[in-house]
């Protein structure tokens, strides 16, 4: 099954083909571009710890998906990093809550590097020895994150928001949970999730789509598809304690102010775009509110905001450093209450919408941002062009409705590292 999407607005084509194996390929040709990037994405992230395969219930330790990401760079015969380096490619990977992605960037030797990437992902090599060796490396990584005040504020907030769901747990797991991981668990997870129908190939650059399809079909062959059902626990529960405080050696407090999105109807892509436009319109650096808070020292250049989510959850979060994080929290509540009552300025909304559209369209010139965005869209069952169309169709009423849905005090968690 193949689909070719064309956007007249940006004069770009996206080739989408689902191969007989079930693997989905997304190819975005960029004629004349020097840099090329290829990604193998898997719909398997840190939240996928409890599942049923062919009628057998399994519960894996927190951090298994991230551990798997590390171990797929292991090969019995060669050093994976050296192989890519010799071909002039930079290779890396990441795991988030819903996805694991392996990618390389290169200028030359794309076909060789692409073959290396697909062979790496399709041939796991786990032993007692290499798993034990990786344990120490990931142990240090977890401790490093614990020393990061932003990370601690964010996951303290998320953990309080989703106490009974894997969404609230740290992506790499804990020092204790990774001790339970062994080669049998890794092979079990690989067999359940690393199957073509749960994976995608994403390629962007001056490349030929048909060649990518052929190589992908050759190197990622059909495999038996198990009956898989994922279990995510209770994620719609109320929030018992909406404030959490921690302490580290800091010159100023670090905060994460989060709102749990309880609305799960409709398109997740539309929820994302309307929420992000709303955030820019109300809290962006061109607003009077931003200027006032900045001049008062309530926010500084570290201030950021984002809305994101997965198949059953959504989180809006503000983060930053502040000498008075409580003042920031109160101003958010005041401003959103005002908008619920008065609505958004039509003129300002239209100006911000054009700004957001332009920013997103400019991303089509940045290959790694496009690839990462398509990984995220694949985990949501869609693609970059649907995301673009959603941005082009956002209305002020959509954003005003999101204010009422999101900014309720009972949905809020305030996390501060003092």
- Catalytic annotation, residues: 69
Burial of 291 (0-12, 13-18, 19+ CB in 10 A): exposed
Rounded distance between C-alpha atoms, residue 153 and residue 146, angstroms: 10
- Measured over the CA atoms of residue 362, residue 368, residue 372 and residue 375, the dihedral's sign is positive
Q: How many CA atoms lie within 13 A of 229 on its CB side?
A: 7
Q: What tokens does 28 get?
A: 């975005």
Instruction: Quote the CA–CA distance of 197 and 222 in Å, as a whole number.
Output: 9
Closest by Cα among 123, 230, 133 to 182? 133
Cα torsion 119, 122, 126, 130: sign: positive
Q: How many CA atoms lie within 13 A of 220 on its CB side?
A: 32
With the C-alpha atoms ordered 302, 320, 308, 352, is the resulting torsion angle positive or negative?
negative
Q: Are strands 243-246 and 412-417 parallel, antiparallel or unpaired?
A: parallel
Exposed/middle/buried for 279, CB within 10 Å: 0-12, 13-18, 19+?
A: buried
User: What whole-number distance in Å separates Cα of residue 401 and Cα of residue 322?
Assistant: 29
Task: Report the DSSP beta bridge partners of residue 104.
Answer: 38, 91
- From residue 389, alpha-carbon distances to 42, 343, 384, 395 in Å are 25, 24, 9, 12
**Closest listed residue to residue 12, CA positions, set 381, 395, 410, 383:** 383
Q: What is the token pair recorded at 229?
A: 């059902």
CA–CA separation, 216 vs 21, rounded Å? 10
At 31, list the tokens: 């004629």
DSSP tag of 412:
E
């Amino acid at each position: 099954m193949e689909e070719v999407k064309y956007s007249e607005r940006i004069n770009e084509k996206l080739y989408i083909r689902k191969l007989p194996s079930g693997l989905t390929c997304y190819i975005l040709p960029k004629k004349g571009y020097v840099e090329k990037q290829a990604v193998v994405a898997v719909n398997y992230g840190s939240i996928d710890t409890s599942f049923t395969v062919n009628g057998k219930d399994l519960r894996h330790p927190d951090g298994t998906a991230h551990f798997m990401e590390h171990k797929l760079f292991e090969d019995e015969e060669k050093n994976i990093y050296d192989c890519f380096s010799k071909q002039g490619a930079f290779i890396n990977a990441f795991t988030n809550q819903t996805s694991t992605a392996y990618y390389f960037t290169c200028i030359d030797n794309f076909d060789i590097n692409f073959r290396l990437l697909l062979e790496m992902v399709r041939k796991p090599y786990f032993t007692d020895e290499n798993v034990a060796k990786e344990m120490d490396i990931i142990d240090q990584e977890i401790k490093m994150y614990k020393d990061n005040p932003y990370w601690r504020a964010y996951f303290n907030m998320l953990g309080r928001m989703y106490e009974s769901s894997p969404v609230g747990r740290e992506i790499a797991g804990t020092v204790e949970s990774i001790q339970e991981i062994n080669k049998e668990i890794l092979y079990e997870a690989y067999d359940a999730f690393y199957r073509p129908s749960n994976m995608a190939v994403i390629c962007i650059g001056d490349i030929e789509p048909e060649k990518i399809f052929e190589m992908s079909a050759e190197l990622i062959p059909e495999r038996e598809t198990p009956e898989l059902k994922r279990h995510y626990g209770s994620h719609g529960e109320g929030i018992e304690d909406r404030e959490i405080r921690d302490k580290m050696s800091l010159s100023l407090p670090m905060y994460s102010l989060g709102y749990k999105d309880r609305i799960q109807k409709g398109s997740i892509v539309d929820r994302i775009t309307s929420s992000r436009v709303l955030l820019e319109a109300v809290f962006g650096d061109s607003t009077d509110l931003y200027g006032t808070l900045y001049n008062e020292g309530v926010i500084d250049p570290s201030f950021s905001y984002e809305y994101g989510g997965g198949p059953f959850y959504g989180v809006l979060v503000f983060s930053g450093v502040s000498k008075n994080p409580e003042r920031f929290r109160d101003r958010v509540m005041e401003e959103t209450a005002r908008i619920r009552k008065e609505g958004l300025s039509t003129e300002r909304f239209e100006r911000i919408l054009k700004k957001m559209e332009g920013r997103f369209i400019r991303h089509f010139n940045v290959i790694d941002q496009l690839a990462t965005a398509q990984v995220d869209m694949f985990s949501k069952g869609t693609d970059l062009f649907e995301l673009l169309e959603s941005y082009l169709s956002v209305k002020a009423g959509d954003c005003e409705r999101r204010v009422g849905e999101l900014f309720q005090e009972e949905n809020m968690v305030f996390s501060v590292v003092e």
